[in-house]
Structure 1
Amino acid sequence: MKARTAIVCSVADQGVAALTNILVLVAAARLSTVADFARFSAVYLVFTVLLGVFGAYTGQPLVLRRGERDEVGGACRSAVAFTLLAASALGALLVAVCLPLPGATPRALMALGLVLPVVLGQDTMRYAFSTLQLPHLALGGDVLRLACVLGVLAMQPYGAPAARLVTVWGLSALPALLLSAVLLHRRVAGTPLRPKVLLRKGHLGRRFVVEFGVGNATGQLSVLGLGAVGNPLVVGALRGATTLFGPLNVLFTSATGFGPPLLGRLSCERRRVRATATLAAVLALTAGAWATALALLPDGVGRHLLGDTWPTAAALLPATGSQYAAMAIGTCGLLALRMLDPRTTLSIQVVFSFAAVAFLTCGYALGGVPGAAWGLCLGSVCKAVATWARVARLSRRTVDGRAPVSAGAIRSGS
């Protein structure tokens, strides 16, 4: 497959996956009472966290793999097998814990436990297809899943309990799982199956899980904390502004999660770094153009999108747009580091996640909600600068003949 076609398929696949998540919540909201939708949303949040953890532990190390066909194919088989086994064990534990508990929420969590291997297994196969440079197969599976989930949810009656919605949502991924399993088996049959290697001490997934936890938890909790001790409007304003940039999050996820196999087609590290820098510029310009388009929206359109939150969110567009431009540069910098030496990203993620919290808090203290938004922007700028400074140092080592450790060289961590 040509590189341009592979890029289009990877981005389209992320778009379909994101659209599925959005439409699931929309459909559940239309089918549920307020109380049941709150339960469904809470369970779906648990799933989203688990999805991120499994993606960090199995998916992100997997897409960094390069080597012979049997080696890469065996890594894909092992990652899928590990996910199915770990998700089954975790699902069984969730069912066992919630079984004696009364109430609708424990029943919904039990339903999640039952379908966990299906939804997480299908997601890991997306990473496997990307690693094998077959993103069109991942796209086909996700399109099938989108069609199935919308079909089964459309058949549910209004007032369906959260446990029922979780069950049908999870089982709707079964056709995509089976199709992906057949397609994957045809390409990796006979390759080594060693799921235990994902439990070894040097496995990169451990670092990536910490990065995921720090990067997601600190920002979320800091905004909630400001809302609790300061002005509750800060939560809605910041969340409203970032919601408008949802399409850019899809592009960022595509870059970090599925970019390494595409960049791996290039012949040398220098060309990969240059391609990543070009991607950073393109994404930053895209963020700026998107922010400009949002700023030019008529007030009526903005209110239709965000309701009464629009005026405060619109006032934050310059800061949030600048933040996303900086995030584009920083995200691509992290992608370059993943290609050069994936062990170098953890320290940057930890340090600058907490730095962003400090900038957010100081910005709010000095300038209220706009100050908080500019504080987040400053944190992203600092992270981007530090990331590319690290890329430059590692690139100089490569030129000097002291090549940094690549993911493919970390055999014990794959």
Structure 2
Amino acid sequence: MRRFAHSRYVTILDQIVSSLSNFALVALVAGVATTAEFGRFSLGYVLLLFFLGFQRALVGEVLLVRFSHVGERPREVDGAAAGVSASVGVVSAIALAVCGLLSGGDPLLWVVLAVAGPLVFVQDIVRYILIARARSGHALVSDAVWAIVALPAMVWLVAVSAPAWAVAAAWTGGGVIALVVAIAYARVTPRPIAGARWLVENRDIAVRFSGEYASLNLSNTVVWFGLAAPLGLAGVAALRGASLLFSPLNTAFNAVRIAVVPDLVRNRGTRRYRARLRETALILFGICAVWSAVVLLLPAEAGRLVLGETWDAAADLRWPYAVQGLAMVVYTALLAHFRAAARHTSSTAMRGVLAAATLVLPMALAVAAAASGAAWGFAAAVAVSVVVGLVWETRARRRDARRDADSPPQPPETDDT
């Protein structure tokens, strides 16, 4: 069990390293691209991230939930899962190619992003495979190699004013090397045909998880465009600025959830399960409290350094986003529990309510109280979804208690030896 306990914290570090490489790509491309080029890159990158998140829900979460019992893994699972990932990557490449044709700009940038899809996606899923095998250290090595190879090359390209496509190509090249390292550790060969069969066999939760992700992503995208009507671009910029200040919380929360779910799965039905869940909630609360205090106490000079002129409008929105972070502590702990305990209906109910509330509450409160109302609307949406999640959990516990009460008592086990 020491190995598994160690794996939780290594997994969190791995997620942070992975997010750092992705953040560096956006920041460094912004340094060499014109406004129009960066706008096109942002469009392509958002599309790439959508497919990346979709395949994590479709494949990655299924691996963590269903195949984290290391001693019970069918041998063909990993190659089939990587095959699904490669197929999703091909779909993303086609979508990016179409997007490039429609939006114009430097075709090389779109080619690089399209090529990145299948390669980066397989590397990402092999990371999940390693995490499910309780080998998070190897996943960390793969992502560390990516950062060590790509970041210096990207910084150098920015220093010599290279085109945006070259910076993206350096990032993709680092991903290819990281993929080779991950595959060497996992000894996995992507098998798309076997992947189709694997997807059918696991469609009960694969479709559910990916549907939850798609609905949340869609509601968030729609509401941001919709808020431009009552708030104008300045109001949307203020909300974006405030959310950016708290974005490290999302990275940390996702890292903790991904790290703890395999460990919860392995300890399901034991006292250690509840201890791990309490520990997770305390860790999430600690992260939220510390980071929220940092942001709330941030001096105006430092805020303007981060957000520029947007700081003046975003500063007043920090409190609702801090409250939203506290609600996300409970939401994230509940979601980890629902995943590990196979309470999939509960997770769908909670996340479905979050998607619907995110569409309705920020828009409604924006009309009544401008950007401040919208910010409180986002916080209220998470809070409402948490209440729904707690109600579903209470109902599930009562059902379990009634079922246990109705079950006939089992005779005590005897030792025949």
- 2:303 maps to 1:302: yes
- 2:60 maps to 1:59: yes
Identity %: 26
Q: Which residue of 1 aligns with 2:199?
A: 199
Q: Which residue of 1 aligns with 2:183?
A: 181
1:277-316 C-alpha deviation (Å, 9 max, x unpaired): 4422431343233222222222211111111222322211
1:25-76 C-alpha deviation (Å, 9 max, x unpaired): 1221223333333332222222111111111111111111244636255322
Q: What CA distance in whole angstroms lies between the structure 2 residues aligned with 1:251 and 1:77?
A: 29
226 and 182 in structure 1: CA distance in 2 versus 1, 3 angstrom threshold: same
Q: AA paired with 1:307?
A: G
Say whether the 8 Å CA contact 2:226–2:363 is kept in structure 1: no
Say whether the 8 Å CA contact 1:256–1:332 is kept in structure 2: yes
Q: AA paired with 1:241?
A: A
Segment of structure 1 superposing worse, 44-53 or 34-43: 34-43
259 and 77 in structure 1: CA distance in 2 versus 1, 3 angstrom threshold: farther
Instruction: Give the superposition deviation at 1:101.
Output: 7.0
1:214-257 C-alpha deviation (Å, 9 max, x unpaired): 21221232132112343322211111111111221112111333
Q: Which residue of 2 aligns with 1:126?
A: 127
Q: What CA distance in whole angstroms lies between the structure 2 residues aligned with 1:12 and 1:357?
A: 33
Say whether the 8 Å CA contact 1:64–1:260 is kept in structure 2: yes
Q: Which residue of 1 aligns with 2:118?
A: 117
Q: What CA distance in whole angstroms lies between the structure 2 residues aligned with 1:267 and 1:56?
A: 21
SS in 1 for 2:14: helix
- 2:338 maps to 1:360: no
Q: Which residue of 1 aligns with 2:351?
A: 349
Instruction: Give the superposition deviation at 1:178.
Output: 0.5
Q: What CA distance in whole angstroms lies between the structure 2 residues aligned with 1:99 and 1:306?
A: 30
Q: What CA distance in whole angstroms lies between the structure 2 residues aligned with 1:275 and 1:46?
A: 35
Instruction: Give the superposition deviation at 1:386.
Output: 1.5
Q: Which residue of 1 aligns with 2:15?
A: 14
68 and 149 in structure 1: CA distance in 2 versus 1, 3 angstrom threshold: closer
Q: What CA distance in whole angstroms lies between the structure 1 residues aligned with 2:242 and 2:352?
A: 24
Q: What CA distance in whole angstroms lies between the structure 2 residues aligned with 1:308 and 1:86?
A: 40
Q: Which residue of 2 aligns with 1:407?
A: none
Q: AA paired with 1:176?
A: A
SS in 2 for 1:230: helix
Please show how residues 331-410 of structure 1 align to structure 2 within 5 Å: 331-344=332-345, 345-401=347-403
Instruction: Give the superposition deviation at 1:98.
Output: 7.1
- 2:251 maps to 1:246: no
Instruction: Give the superposition deviation at 1:397.
Output: 3.5
Say whether the 8 Å CA contact 1:127–1:258 is kept in structure 2: no
Please show how residues 141-290 of structure 1 align to structure 2 within 5 Å: 141-156=142-157, 158=160, 160-185=162-187, 194-200=194-200, 202-268=203-269, 271-273=272-274, 275-290=276-291
Say whether the 8 Å CA contact 2:25–2:168 is kept in structure 1: no
Q: What CA distance in whole angstroms lies between the structure 2 residues aligned with 1:98 and 1:245?
A: 30
SS in 2 for 1:349: helix
Which of the residues 75, 82, 87 maps onto 1:80? Answer: 82
Say whether the 8 Å CA contact 1:58–1:79 is kept in structure 2: yes
Say whether the 8 Å CA contact 1:356–1:375 is kept in structure 2: yes
Q: What CA distance in whole angstroms lies between the structure 1 residues aligned with 2:100 and 2:7?
A: 45
Instruction: Give the superposition deviation at 1:14.
Output: 1.0
Segment of structure 1 superposing worse, 278-287 or 297-306: 278-287
Say whether the 8 Å CA contact 1:269–1:340 is kept in structure 2: no
Q: AA paired with 2:261?
A: P
Q: What CA distance in whole angstroms lies between the structure 2 residues aligned with 1:337 and 1:99?
A: 39
Q: What CA distance in whole angstroms lies between the structure 1 residues aligned with 2:21 and 2:266?
A: 30
Say whether the 8 Å CA contact 2:350–2:388 is kept in structure 1: yes
Say whether the 8 Å CA contact 2:85–2:121 is kept in structure 1: yes
Q: What CA distance in whole angstroms lies between the structure 1 residues aligned with 2:207 and 2:121?
A: 18
235 and 89 in structure 1: CA distance in 2 versus 1, 3 angstrom threshold: closer
Say whether the 8 Å CA contact 1:323–1:377 is kept in structure 2: yes
Segment of structure 1 superposing worse, 243-252 or 34-43: 34-43
Please show how residues 65-104 of structure 1 align to structure 2 within 5 Å: 65-66=66-67, 67=69, 69=71, 71=73, 73-88=75-90, 90-91=92-93, 95=97, 97=98, 103-104=104-105
Say whether the 8 Å CA contact 2:55–2:88 is kept in structure 1: no
TM-score by length of 1: 0.87
Q: Which residue of 1 aligns with 2:410?
A: none
Q: What CA distance in whole angstroms lies between the structure 2 residues aligned with 1:62 and 1:402?
A: 30
Q: What's the C-alpha RMSD, in Å, of the aligned pairs?
A: 2.8
TM-score by length of 2: 0.86
342 and 72 in structure 1: CA distance in 2 versus 1, 3 angstrom threshold: farther
Say whether the 8 Å CA contact 1:207–1:346 is kept in structure 2: yes
Instruction: Give the superposition deviation at 1:324.
Output: 0.8
Q: What CA distance in whole angstroms lies between the structure 2 residues aligned with 1:102 and 1:266?
A: 50
288 and 155 in structure 1: CA distance in 2 versus 1, 3 angstrom threshold: closer
Q: AA paired with 2:182?
A: S
Segment of structure 1 superposing worse, 66-75 or 46-55: 66-75
Q: Which residue of 2 aligns with 1:140?
A: 141
Q: What CA distance in whole angstroms lies between the structure 1 residues aligned with 2:319 and 2:102?
A: 48
Q: AA paired with 2:196?
A: K
Q: What CA distance in whole angstroms lies between the structure 1 residues aligned with 2:268 and 2:58?
A: 27
Q: AA paired with 2:310?
A: T
Q: What CA distance in whole angstroms lies between the structure 2 residues aligned with 1:89 and 1:156?
A: 29
Q: What CA distance in whole angstroms lies between the structure 1 residues aligned with 2:9 and 2:103?
A: 47
